Chains A and B, each alone.
Chain A
Amino acid sequence: MEQFSTHTRAILDRMNSVIDGKPTETRTALTVLLAGGHLLVEDVPGVGKTMLARTLAGAIGGTVSRIQFTPDLLPTDITGVSVYDQVRREFEFKPGPVFANLVIGDEINRASAKTQSALLEAMAESQVTADGTTYQLATPFMVVATQNPVEMDGTFPLPEAQRDRFTARISMGYPDADAEVHMLAGHGSGSPLKDLQPVVDIHQATQLVDHVRSLHVSTAVRRYIVSLCQATRTHPHLRLGASPRAALQMQAAARAEAALAGRNHVLPDDVKAIAVPVLAHRLLLERRSGTDSAQDVVRAILDDVRVPTEDGAGSR
């Protein structure tokens, strides 16, 4: 436990030293890593999406690969190809960039749907199948994908089925003035990523993820998660609610949140804390739902669903 908080503190410190003024976003990124999920970072260009992904990758040891998604990117450019080895006279599998502990998918919505789905398939199954052979991906395995808002030119919006595979979505947003000034000063002398040394090795990172998985989730909290998901399915402003996979990922994220808070059990507070980034990007708004954003709907649901304090019974 001591070790866990030391390590996670170190990772956060390291990330915050690079990304100015975004402690919430860095923490979400770490939460998703600890939950064993994948992160979608969505915002306009130039606010540090890729920086966030690379900082996270740099803070933990392990292999990092980066894929710049372009309209002409092919699925095999991600998963890898079998090439004929003329010396040994046989096909040899050349692993693609997806075979890394941390895969940064830059501007994922610039690639065609076919290529996107190749990555997402790998994300869901943690494995790649090529020429009849299945290759396991690395552990831990995390995809940090960035995407531009769908209104931007030259983008293919992610279908909802694929958005569902990301544990959480965050927006970077513009830094405030002080942070931006600080950034200008810090970045003047070159990229801060250059001398970014990992604070944990890959083995320790795996241990962190394992620890999070061991956290206790009580029936009351599980019930609460399910109630929240069910509320999204019946909410009048929503066309599409949260899937059971969303509930699973909420539980995982809540575990990570609880672990980061130094507890070994999950509180409803943890669920509430991760609910917006975990749920919002999966929801489809009704067209006539006015100006509510998906985040607003999730907040409204959080404000509405009863928090159970005992097994089976409602709060007294």
Chain B
Amino acid sequence: MSHSAAPATPWGSPGPAGRAESPESTPAAPGNSRPPEPPRHQRAPRMAVLPLHALLLASVALGCVGMAGALAGFWWVLPVAVTVVIVVLVTAAARWLRVPSALVTVLGLAALILALTVVHVSDHALLGFIPTPGTLDAVGSLWSESGSFVARQSAPYGHNAGLALVLSALVGLVTVFMETALLGLRMAGLACVGILALLVVPALTLPGSVSIWGLGAAILAALALLAGSRVWGATRLQHIAPTPGGLPRALLVIAGVLAVSLLVPTVMPGFFSGAFPQGSSFNSERAAGVGPLRAVGQDLRESERVQRFSYTTSDGQPKYMRLMSLSDFSQPEFFPQTDNLEEGLDGLADPETNPVSRENPVTTKVTFEDYNEHWLPAPYAPTEFTGIGDEGWSWNPRDLSVFSAGSEMSGGTFTVTSSAPRATPDAMRSAAPSDTNGDLADYLRVPDETPELISSAARQLTEGAGNDYDRALALQNGLRHNFQYDVNAPLAQGYDAGGMDSMGQFMETRTGYAGHFAPAMALMAREVGIPSRVAVGYLPTTPVSDSRGGELFQVGTGDAHAWPELYFEGVGWVRFEPTPGIPTTPEYAPESGNEPGQDASGQPDQTPGQEPSQPQEPTSGPTDEQSQPPAPATPEQAQEESGTAFMIPLWVLVLGGVLLLLVLLAAVPRLIRGHRRRARLADMADASLSPRERANAAWGELEDLSVDHGGSPKASDTPRVRARHMAAGIPAASEAVDRIVSDVEHASYAAPDASWKPSASAADLGTVRDELMRRADRGQKFRATWWPASIFRR
């Protein structure tokens, strides 16, 4: 616009030149004007921020109703409520102050961290609210505490500081997510996903899933969200056409859904790590989750050893502490049977109902530490339990496992009397063939899904063996010699132990751990007609001296184990040890070629069917446990330790995560600014938009450019005055500025004119930007690029 051509106006107004407009050619013709288009890309109608936040608070509260069923009492309400209220207050204030949307979410997360710090770990924070590395440690310990707590308990959960933190974090995260979805993205439907996330807790922990009340409250919350969002303006505008910035928005939505679905399991550690499912949070139902064999692997891979229980024995020897056995191999994942149990433990002590040998009784006194199973650990075969009371116990006559519906036993003690079967090679070699039609039929059933490799290997290994004992020995030693022990590889390659699903690949890779070896041998034994089952429990451990000078055996996660038990008529169920990671085999089942000095290095090529050497002490009748030298550190433990050595330390991960987060945070203003610029340039070129919207887009961008470069346009200045100030600094771009400002003046103040088109182009904005950049010093350039001031004003 050429100011010089205009007559000087009084009172200092710049004389706007006549732009070839004549009153005759462009009369104000109201009849000519089109009906106003619904404004599309310009800011949607104002939202009623405070009612929407009240709605958010109410929805989260309703969503938590379902959670109440999974938690005993109302101990969790206060910490969760304080967290949520702080988050809501902070985000509401930020919205009210019209802070940019992305920053509101960041602020919400910051408020969440603050709230969690203040409510849960204020003792470990600077001044009670500033997080320090110590705070992180405290959170970490609370976190793992909650994990073991959830794993050890069954729903409903009582008071626990760790669980309170986890719940607060979960609900707080969901609140931030819902706030972003509802007010930031104006997508009430997406916000409802947050309510869904809150339902995950009861859905996973409660056998009967979510209560009708919880479900009703959640539905009510969702309906309220949808209705409230309409009432208070948190809805998107009608236009469905692809909008610029649609992709970032879609990515944001996907990221949100992913975050919720990934974070929820993460904050509830009890679901995904735990011991045996019957003892984990999944209750005694076979509903879902982890089978005992997979749990063994998880326990072995656990980086931190958790002490489960300790015991002393009357003979001073460590025992295989057995929990339960698996005999039904028809499922993809094996589970113990919990039906047909006998109530009370009187029957166990009665020789009529429990007709096992009672010779050489050994008493074992067990003290639970961090123990959360439904099954009692006991050496085989138990004949009497004392000190546990009578209530709630039942036993399985078939495998002598002892079960309780409850699982909280930490700190408790009991004594078990047991008597090992008199297993000798001779007795087993001369054992009569098993009756395949009686009670043992179940133990001989080979499911159809059994991989062909199992039966072929079984036949190959037992070729030439003349009796069941020799066959069993051949199977055990064949597995020990031809297979490799590795607790991590199966998980990495997708055939973690647990059931029939993993067997095929195990047979092919010949690599696995006890969870693979035990069922493999059991299945092979069935193939060759020996009744078998898989026992799950704990390995014997190295003794430590207890306070009274006795030998105390401590058992922890690294000692989890599984082994096959084979039945020999007249002897009973006999343990074998096919897992090569365990250095010693039972004395009655010697590893062939087990000469001194050879077990460590030599892997003599054990041909199938090779006759094992005779045991040296056939008549002493030692039980396997007695003869078993205590394993100083089982290879499984060693494996686990070496695994830890290669793991990246947690603090590196945290530091890396924090750094990544900081980098992302630092890039946020630039990203927002770039997104806005692209959206506006797209708007300017979008012919479907009204000329006014296109002109406004160009003007908004021009103003933001000016602000980014240190300009501070006054709201009381007219567009023309602001443009004049701006152009004063960049005379080379003054024509471009004039075009843009005359467009916005026309768009905002002129009579509606269907034929009018904005004259400014994206190139004009480019000129302005280049000029500004050219004249900026290094600091200004940096600020304009990375910390554009315009995103902090609306």
Q: Is B738 an interface residue (CB 8 A)?
A: no
Task: Please report the C-alpha to C-alpha distance between residue A12 and residue B714 in the assembled complex, in whole angstroms.
Answer: 34
Given A268-B718, A304-B716, A1–B700 Cβ distance below 8 Å? Answer: no
Q: Is B207 an interface residue (CB 8 A)?
A: no
Q: Considering residues A1, A306, A309, which has the most beta carbons from chain B within 10 angstroms of its beta carbon?
A: A309
Asked if A269 and B718 sit within 8 Å, CB to CB, the answer is yes
Please indicate the chain B residues that have their CB under 8 angstroms from the CB of A273 in the complex.
9-13
Asked if B749 and A218 sit within 8 Å, CB to CB, the answer is yes
Asked if A263 and B21 sit within 8 Å, CB to CB, the answer is yes
Chain A positions 249 through 277: 1 when the CB is less than 8 Å from some CB of chain B, otherwise 0: 00000000100111111111110111011
Chain B positions 14 through 30: 1 when the CB is less than 8 Å from some CB of chain A, otherwise 0: 11111101111111100
Asked if A309 and B27 sit within 8 Å, CB to CB, the answer is no
| Residues of A in contact with B, size category | 35 or more
Asked if B16 and A267 sit within 8 Å, CB to CB, the answer is yes
Please indicate the chain A residues that have their CB under 8 angstroms from the CB of B23 in the complex.
1, 4, 211, 214-215, 264
Asked if B14 and A269 sit within 8 Å, CB to CB, the answer is yes
Which listed residue, B28, B721, B744, touches A214 by the CB 8 Å rule? Answer: B28
Stretch of A23-31, A48-56, A195-203 that contacts chain B: A23-31
Asked if A313 and B718 sit within 8 Å, CB to CB, the answer is no
Asked if A276 and B11 sit within 8 Å, CB to CB, the answer is yes
Please indicate the chain A residues that have their CB under 8 angstroms from the CB of B26 in the complex.
264
Q: Is A187 an interface residue (CB 8 A)?
A: no
Chain A positions 1 through 37: 1 when the CB is less than 8 Å from some CB of chain B, otherwise 0: 1101100010010000000000111011001000000
Asked if B24 and A1 sit within 8 Å, CB to CB, the answer is yes
Asked if A309 and B719 sit within 8 Å, CB to CB, the answer is yes
Kindly provide the distance from the CB of B99 to the nearest chain A CB, expressed in whole angstroms. 16
Q: Is A94 an interface residue (CB 8 A)?
A: no
Asked if B6 and A262 sit within 8 Å, CB to CB, the answer is yes
Q: Is B349 an interface residue (CB 8 A)?
A: no
Task: Please report the C-alpha to C-alpha distance between residue A304 and residue B720 in the assembled complex, in whole angstroms.
Answer: 17
Asked if B749 and A315 sit within 8 Å, CB to CB, the answer is no
| Residues of B in contact with A, size category | 35 or more
Q: Is B794 an interface residue (CB 8 A)?
A: yes
Asked if A269 and B794 sit within 8 Å, CB to CB, the answer is no
Please indicate the chain A residues that have their CB under 8 angstroms from the CB of B746 in the complex.
265
Task: Please report the C-alpha to C-alpha distance between residue A2 and residue B24 in the assembled complex, in whole angstroms.
Answer: 10
Quick one: which of B695-710 are within 8 Å of A by CB? 696, 699-700, 703
Chain A positions 292 through 308: 1 when the CB is less than 8 Å from some CB of chain B, otherwise 0: 00000000001111111
Q: Is A220 an interface residue (CB 8 A)?
A: yes
Q: Is A310 an interface residue (CB 8 A)?
A: yes
Please indicate the chain A residues that have their CB under 8 angstroms from the CB of B24 in the complex.
1
Asked if A264 and B21 sit within 8 Å, CB to CB, the answer is yes
Task: Please report the C-alpha to C-alpha distance between residue A306 and residue B718 in the assembled complex, in whole angstroms.
Answer: 9
Please indicate the chain A residues that have their CB under 8 angstroms from the CB of B333 in the complex.
none
Q: Is B717 an interface residue (CB 8 A)?
A: yes
Task: Please report the C-alpha to C-alpha distance between residue A2 and residue B18 in the assembled complex, in whole angstroms.
Answer: 10
Please indicate the chain A residues that have their CB under 8 angstroms from the CB of B17 in the complex.
262
Please indicate the chain A residues that have their CB under 8 angstroms from the CB of B699 in the complex.
309, 316
Please indicate the chain B residues that have their CB under 8 angstroms from the CB of A316 in the complex.
696, 699-700, 703, 794
Q: Is A154 an interface residue (CB 8 A)?
A: no
Kindly provide the distance from the CB of A297 to the nearest chain B CB, expressed in whole angstroms. 14
Which listed residue, B16, B22, B28, B43, touches A215 by the CB 8 Å rule? Answer: B28
Extra 15 A-B pairs, beta carbons < 8 Å, given A9-B7, A276-B11:
A1-B22, A1-B25, A23-B8, A214-B23, A218-B749, A218-B750, A261-B13, A261-B16, A262-B6, A265-B28, A267-B720, A269-B721, A273-B10, A307-B718, A316-B703
The list of the 10 closest CB pairs from A to B, nearest first, reads: A262-B18, A1-B22, A216-B751, A273-B13, A24-B10, A306-B715, A265-B750, A216-B28, A27-B10, A268-B718
Q: Which residues of chain A have a CB within 8 Å of any CB of chain B? A: 1-2, 4-5, 9, 12, 23-25, 27-28, 31, 211, 214-216, 218, 220-221, 257, 260-270, 272-274, 276-277, 302-310, 313-316
* CB pairs A–B below 8 angstroms (8 shown): A214-B27, A261-B6, A262-B19, A263-B18, A264-B23, A269-B14, A303-B716, A314-B715
